Amino acid sequence: MAEAVVHDVLGDGHGEHGADHHDMTYTRKAAMWVFLGSECMFFGALISTFLLYRSETRDGPTATEIFDIPFTSASSFILLMSSLTMVLAHHAFHRHDMRRARIWILATATLGGLFLAGQIFEFTEFVHEGLKLSTSPFGSSFYVLTGFHGAHVAIGVIMLLGMFVLSLSGKLNHHEGLNVELVGLYWHFVDIVWIVIFTVVYLLQV
Amino acid sequence: MAAPGHAEPTPRTYWLIALFLGVITAIEVAVAYVDALDPVIAPILLTLSAIKFGAVVGWFMHLKFDRKLFRGFFLFGLIGAPLLFLVVLATFHALV
């Protein structure tokens, strides 16, 4: 199968080294998509759990009482725009425009950091209003779901900052385009998960 | 990077998609506050969410331009997630 794939990618007349490189590119991208598919299942399980327990608030506050939709909408917009800056970083990298790629990578990491800061602020507010991890099944499922998403964003920000530092030291050049693409795929995935969470967990509950 | 034979979108396309995503998000939030739409709010919001999801996956993640096999890997997980939800509901006898 690998030979067919390489032939498909390269056509005839390419050397063995080029074939190996493209074979590896294909394999790594395929592995990333398999990983993202499995992540869909992971977040699917967490969202299912939230939907199952969303009305079990016990003595704690309900979603309608504590959710601040305008604030979360602004956070969602920030994360959406980070997907734009990420794809622009990838595009600039692909065109060997390292300076612009660096700017967009840093912009993406900054927007991710802003989203995380918003989430920490939101969690702090909720705790002050009486919703803790152990308050109710609603609280537990909400914090576990949004917390895991936040952890994914944090990992993404670390990877982006790592890429930025590597590019400054010249260790990330245009030959490393696949690494940027894979980090980009991960980042966009984090964004699409939030698109679902924002609708299902926030908008549909108020 | 797009699969061989497919042109990559330009930065202008990416900006337009981002604008589109921002507008859809604004519509989602506005719709959530219209009491008259309460009976149909879930399908409306889920449809808008699916449109945003598709735009990011298709254009920003380049899946629209990439290999069908990658699409298959991702769809497997995407279809598996709601199936998993049904299994969870069935396990807790919450389907009826």
pLDDT at B46 over 90: yes
User: Please, are residues A27 and A180 in contact by the beta-carbon 8 Å criterion?
Assistant: no
Least CA distance to B86: which residue of chain A?
Answer: A48
Q: What is the pTM of this model?
A: 0.88
Q: CA gyration radius for chain A?
A: 20
Nearest to A100, CA basis, from A108, A92, A90: A92
Chain A window 60-99: which residues touch B at a Cβ cutoff of 8 Å?
A: 69-70, 73, 76-77, 80-81, 83-84, 86-88, 91, 94
> What are A104-125's pLDDT values in tens digits?
999 999 999 999 999 999 999 9
pLDDT at A82 over 90: yes
> What are B74-87's pLDDT values in tens digits?
999 899 888 888 88
User: Please, are residues A58 and A135 in contact by the beta-carbon 8 Å criterion?
Assistant: yes
Q: What is the pLDDT of residue A11?
A: 41
Put simply, the answer to whether A80 touches B21 (Cβ < 8 Å) is: yes
Q: What is the pLDDT of residue A206?
A: 75
Put simply, the answer to whether B29 touches A73 (Cβ < 8 Å) is: yes
User: Please, are residues B17 and B59 in contact by the beta-carbon 8 Å criterion?
Assistant: yes
pLDDT at A16 over 50: yes
Helix, strand, coil share (%) of chain A residues, nearest 5: 85, 0, 15
pLDDT at A19 over 80: no
Share above pLDDT 90 across residues of chain A, in percent, rounded to a whole number? 76
